[in-house]
Amino acid sequence: MEKLNLDLLAIAAHPDDVELTCGGTLLTMAQLGYKTGILDLTAGEMGTRGTPQIRAREAAKAAKLLRVSWRDTLGVPDSDVQPARQHKLRLAAVIRQLRPKTVILPYWEARHPDHYHASTLGYEGCFLAGLKQLPIAGEAHRPFKILYSISYADVRPTFVVDISAQYEQRRKAILAFASQFRPKKGERTGKVHLAIDRLEAEMNQLARHYGQLIGVQYGEPFLQKELMQVKDVVKMEVRSI
């Protein structure tokens, strides 16, 4: 099996979750020359709009906009994401193939069960991938760093990534999921228009909010369980007074 040695891998439950929570960060890292990837746990087949085929096309378009090197679906059933043994083993095999240094997971508390289960499944899959005796293919590998994307969680981030220069491109990547947000011709219901207006307003407001916390225009928030180590306190960013 070919090893991909990704620098950064974002894992989430549904296609478009990654775009909405850390798309700007993925693009920023790709622009810095890092190799990035997205693993959607499900194909989003329970979504009320669009088919899995349409969503797969949209996901590929969004991946291109965010310049990710790799994107695939794990094949867990939508609305039934669980940290079950068989899913963890499949995820661990993918981690061994991709060998990411850093992994972004959804925050572990959420309204949608798929989102919080995705967090646990992601963490445990990454852990198992490092066990040499695991009965799966590939050389043992464990990511060095786990980050949690917390755009939609009510918790204080550990740090915020400045995505001001990437915001417009991230917006395009989110709107690439047109079947979710835009009505088809002859299907123009007020409901969908409202959805896209609200989505635009909400994603702008969230990114502005987190940007303001670090004194830039737009930002994406993350949490890590470990403390941050600082080597040079004179060169720390974000003005205090």
Q: Which residue is nearest to Zn ion (CB)?
A: 14
Residues that bind Zn ion (CB under 5 A): 13-14, 17
Task: Of 180, 158, 182, 237, give the one whose Cα is nearest residue 52.
Answer: 180
> H helices of the chain, where?
17-31, 52-65, 85-98, 113-128, 167-175, 178-181, 190-213
How far is the C-alpha of 33 from the C-alpha of 141, rounded, in Å?
Answer: 22
Nearest to Zn ion of 17, 19 (CB atom): 17
Q: Quick one: 14 or 55, whose CB is closer to Zn ion?
A: 14
Closest CB 182 distance from Zn ion, rounded Å = 18
Which residue lies nearer to Zn ion by CB, 46 or 131?
46
CB-nearer residue toward Zn ion: 109 or 139:
109
Cβ at position 228, least distance to Zn ion in Å? 28
Q: At closest approach, how far in Å is the CB of 112 from Zn ion? A: 6
Structure tokens at 50: 């669009």
- Shortest Å, Cβ 102 to Zn ion: 21
What CA–CA distance (Å, rounded) separates 69 from 8? 10
Q: Please check whether residue 162 is in contact with residue 219, taking contact to mean a CB–CB distance below 8 angstroms.
A: yes
Tell me whether residue 4 or residue 110 sits nearer to Zn ion (CB atom). 110
Minimum distance, C-beta of residue 47 to Zn ion, in the bound complex (Å):
9
Nearer to Zn ion, 12 or 216 (CB): 12
| Nearest CA among 163, 168, 96 for reference residue 135 | 96
The Cβ of residue 157 has, within 10 Å, a number of other Cβ atoms equal to: 21
**Cβ 115 to Zn ion, closest distance in Å?**
6
Tokens of 98: 């991709």
From CA 5, how far away is CA 239, in angstroms rounded?
36
DSSP state of 235: G
